[in-house]
Amino acid sequence: MINYLYREQNWKSQLSDLITDPQELLNILNLSQDDLLSGAILASEQFKLRIPRAFVEKMDISNPKDPLLLQVLPHHLELEEHADFVTDPLGEEQANHLPGILHKYESRFLLTLTGACAVHCRYCFRRHFPYQENLPKNHDWENIQNYILQHPQINEIILSGGDPLTISNQKLETWIKRLESIEQLQTLRIHTRVPVVIPTRLDDELLTLLKNSRLRIVIVIHSNHANELDDFTVSQLKNLADQHITVLNQAVFLKGVNDNADVLVNLSKRLFEARVMPYYLHVLDKVKGAHHFDLDNAIIEQIYTDILARLPGYLVPKLVREIAGEKNKTPLYGVTVA
């Protein structure tokens, strides 16, 4: 078993001390297979390895198939070319109206304040996204404000990735205050994986900031496996519910990680213990480098049918796929998975 050295450490020091070297990661996990290391070195040249130590502490030692490790360890299969796996599967570059804004759905848009994430998930559909050209500077605020005012149907802003909880509370506060000043906005949503990989990010300062906002706060975390939700993480997440913040989870259906009804049932139950409601179960986006996580439609349907039968309805995440050009995520159950 691993020693818990990092999980309760201050989040800023954790963010500045991420594991980025494949050799170091494999040493910690006592994995000495040469092919793992050479694959990780090659694949990390395209999308860097980046993992908080607190997340590694949740992995099993000496298990190359650990479901948490598989999500973050670069693999030589990422370098395979597959014709239908492309760099921008969702056509996001088209929906980029202003720096920082990704507006595809009517009442809400994504606002990207940073291109950085605390962890690099190998299946991420944003792994090829040209963030650095797209970040809003302070002087862009006026344009964003005008954009919102010109679209009165917008009532919710979603801070998204990169990961908005990698930025300081002070900077978050600046943006929250700006958004609060626009009367038509009712809800602020934060899409983040940081509470799962660095649970101390949910510090008192952040909780106070969120609690005092006039906006309804919704936090959507991203967890794919119950092993990510150890007791400390669960207790941190419960603090959000204590502040009457709505907390939801989105997961991605991933071969080798959670392509199994027991795993998904346990995930939902564990989320519920943390007072987090399952929201979406995403079918993998066909992004270049992620083909080895892809599942057959027949398997997806079979597992999903199973979890529908085994869980109360409120613990079943919505199975969805994102289709470029659609006005919302496309629900898959009851329609043909295509």
Site string for ligand PLP, 142-171 (x = CB under 6 A): ----------------x-------------
Binding segment for ligand SF4 (CB under 6 A), chosen from 115-123, 137-145, 260-268, 300-308, is 115-123
Q: Which of residues 203-222 bind ligand SF4 (CB under 6 A)?
A: 222
Exposure on the CB side of residue 284, measured as CA atoms within 13 A = 29
Q: How far is CA 26 from CA 107, 321, 324, in A?
A: 45, 33, 37
193 binds ligand SF4 (CB under 6 A): yes
Q: State residue 323 phi and psi, 5-degree precision.
A: -115, 125
Distance CA 222, CA 278 (A): 10
Q: Which is nearer to ligand PLP, 47 or 105 (CB)?
A: 105
Among 212, 244, 328, 331, which residue sits at the site for ligand PLP (rule: CB under 6 A)? 328
Helix (H, G, I), strand (E, B), or coil: what is residue 85? coil
Among 72, 110, 217, 264, which residue sits at the site for ligand PLP (rule: CB under 6 A)? 110
Token pair 């989105």 is found at 250
228 binds ligand SF4 (CB under 6 A): no
Q: Which does residue 264 touch among ligand SF4, ligand PLP, none (CB within 5 to 8 A, set by kind)?
A: none
Among 19, 68, 102, 117, which residue sits at the site for ligand SF4 (rule: CB under 6 A)? 117
Q: Which does residue 6 touch among ligand PLP, ligand SF4, none (CB within 5 to 8 A, set by kind)?
A: none
196 binds ligand SF4 (CB under 6 A): no
- The answer to whether residues 277 and 314 touch, using CB atoms and an 8 Å cutoff, is yes
Token pair 């040469």 is found at 34
Number of residues that bind ligand SF4 (CB under 6 A): 10
Exposure on the CB side of residue 6, measured as CA atoms within 13 A = 21
| Contact residues for 136 (Cβ-Cβ < 8 A; gap 6+) | 98, 99, 100, 101, 111, 112, 113, 144
Q: Which is nearer to ligand SF4, 131 or 147 (CB)?
A: 131
> Which positions lie near ligand PLP, rule CB under 6 A?
102, 104-105, 108-110, 158, 328-329
